[in-house]
A = this chain, B = another copy of it.
Amino acid sequence: MHVQSPSELSEGDPFGAATLPYGIFSTPDAPDRPRVGVRYGDHVLDAAAAAAAHGSVHAELLAQPTLNALMAAGRPVWEAVRREIRGWLQEPYFLPLDGVTLHLPFEVADYVDFYASEHHATNVGRIFRPGMDPLTPNWKHLPIGYHGRAGTVVVSGTDVVRPQGQRKAPDAELPSFGPSLRLDIEAEVGFVVGTPAPAGTPVTIGEFREHVFGVCLVNDWSARDVQAWEYVPLGPFLGKSFATSVSAWITPLEAFDTARTAPPERTYPLLPYLDDSAAEPGGIDLRIEVRINGEAVSRPPFASMYWTAAQQLAHMTVNGASLRTGDLYASGTVSGPEPDQLGCLLELTQGKGPYLADGDEVVLTAWAPGADGARIGLGEVRGRILPARTA
């Protein structure tokens, strides 16, 4: 059932030999045997089969039903496996992408969501806290973040049922209950931790590459009406916890080495643990596209983010918190300075809506420049809204 290697990739295919993202797939003839695959064009390399056939020492890692064992193995193994996979691209271990089932690629340990776009935080602050300074006094001194619900992270392609919850109109005396009337998206970039870190040993900015395995797209679905009513004083909870969608493919961090960019200039000097002036450029020139029902509605530029993924990791661990394999942290909504670069409907419609309707399908895609005109892709995140399940 395997096919020959895909003969030719179209020019600019974001899943060429410089990308090679990892995922977990199964086939109709062996639905109970999910295993590691690598995307190449519109095919999947059966990495488990190739590794077994070659007697690779990594065959067991690649036969697992999640990426966690590979992710826990650490950067030297990640690089060795990537070299092996490059050597298998001309061999007959490919399956057509549309013939396989893709699974949640890793078991999520903790999920943290940041808030790292100055444009997004400013726009949202204006809408949620009118008349006040849109950026809180702490915003430019630390990457603000919070923990989300790991158990409701789902893989791209999973339908999202419209959540129900409490919301209160500003002029209403009491809250009411029902399906969210302001269901929104948040286009984000996620970073997946491979190598764990014990409690009490903060991860420095320079150690970022040792701990982060790869990158994915994230749609942090948000019920704005629920969120607005619940979030003071302890932050977002049910407005977010019903579902968070991630790519089926995790692109290795090093694939973006050609796309590193300097983050924006900082307004204030940073405390030493966040100071990245001597480190490799912390930004990534990822160009995201948001499509709703096939229509491109926004193109958020990830390079515009104020806080970088390395700074976020340093911040998350500076208090001594440990890292586990499978920890996922997302950038927060990516919004650029222009009206067609905003990462959520709240901003795109200036708080007025319309928001998502039942049946709407949202697709996020992204790519970054590689060498010689190549494109480095992130796996898409696709999700369709189903009507609320009212009793």
Contacts and interface: CB of A to CB of B under 8 A. Distances in A.
A383 to B, nearest CB: 13
A221 to B, nearest CB: 11
Nearest to A115: B234
B242 A319 contact: yes
B141 A175 contact: yes
Contact of A138 (B110, B144, B232): B232
Stoichiometry, copies per complex: 2
Nearest to A136: B232
A236 interface: yes
Contact of A320 (B142, B161, B271, B316): B161
Given A138-B230, A152-B199, A318-B165, A236 B238 contact: no
Interface string A231-243: 1111111110111
Q: Give the most central of A129, A201, A231, A324: most B CB within 10 Å.
A: A231
B319 A238 contact: yes
Q: Is chain A's binding surface mostly helix, strand, loop or mixed?
A: loop
Nearest to A233: B136
Given A110-B149, A238-B321, 16 more contacts: A128-B233, A138-B166, A144-B230, A144-B234, A147-B148, A147-B241, A151-B323, A164-B202, A164-B320, A174-B268, A177-B273, A200-B389, A238-B319, A239-B319, A241-B316, A242-B319
20 contacts: A110-B150, A141-B168, A142-B175, A144-B234, A145-B234, A146-B146, A146-B234, A147-B147, A151-B324, A152-B199, A152-B322, A161-B199, A161-B200, A164-B320, A174-B268, A177-B272, A226-B319, A233-B235, A234-B235, A320-B389
